[in-house]
Structure 1
């Protein structure tokens, strides 16, 4: 997906979470390890919920922010949704799945931080700031939940 406006950033994020939800759900049906299977199902549901929340940003965000062009974007290489499912989640261990998902969310957070540092319009800074808070909070929640599962 070519990203040229903040609307595209929101759509890219929504699409990425949707893609991950489908990928993780599909891999959960092929996973043999019970704990990893549970994790993949949980992560698929979590990504599907995130996709819906991000879709809400598209509906509620200031149109001025959404239609703002990204001029400095070219120098940053964001995650490509098609690459995010190249990992064979069905063959990975619980810890390997966690590492992959945390890395993915950290890349999204880094992308938002990059954009936040380059926005000059208050509406776009607020939009990216809200998306950054959402991704950061959800990454922390995932870490907490997966750590609890490790303890079982």
Structure 2
């Protein structure tokens, strides 16, 4: 998907969380490690919830922000979700799963920070700050819950 406006960015983010939720859910039934299956199932549920949260931004955001172009800031697709996973999550250890998922979330956070520094209108900066706050908060929450699962 080519991201040209902030609306496209939200759609792309929602689709990324959707893809990740489906991938994690599928792999949760394939892993041979019980702890990894539990983690994958938890992460899949969390990503599905994030998909819905991100969709809410589309419904609540200022139309000025949604229609603002980001094309000038991005020369290519923002992030390739497949880059973080060179093999199925089902074949990964708990630590490798966490590393791949957090890498993807950190790429999204970095993208939002980058765009926020270049946003020209206040409505776009506010939208990006809200998206950034949500991604940072949810990534911290994922880290806490992942650590709890690892401690089992």
Aligned residue pair count: 152
Matches within 5 A, 1:70-149: 70-75=70-75, 78-83=78-83, 86-149=86-149
Structure 1 residue 135, shift from structure 2 partner: 0.3
Q: RMSD of aligned C-alpha atoms? A: 1.5
Contact 1:23 1:85 in 2 (8 A): no
Deviation at 1:87, TM superposition (A): 3.1
| Structure 2: distance between partners of 1:37 and 1:56 | 29
- State how far apart, in whole Å, the 2-side matches of 1:74 and 1:55 are: 22
Matches within 5 A, 1:23-102: 23-75=23-75, 78-83=78-83, 86-102=86-102
Rounded to whole Å, the distance in 2 between the matches of 1:121 and 1:56 is: 21
Length-normalised TM-score, structure 1: 0.94
Q: What stretches of structure 2 of length at least 5 have no aligned partner?
A: none
TM-score, normalization by structure 2: 0.94
> For structure 1, which runs of at least 5 residues remain unmatched after alignment?
none
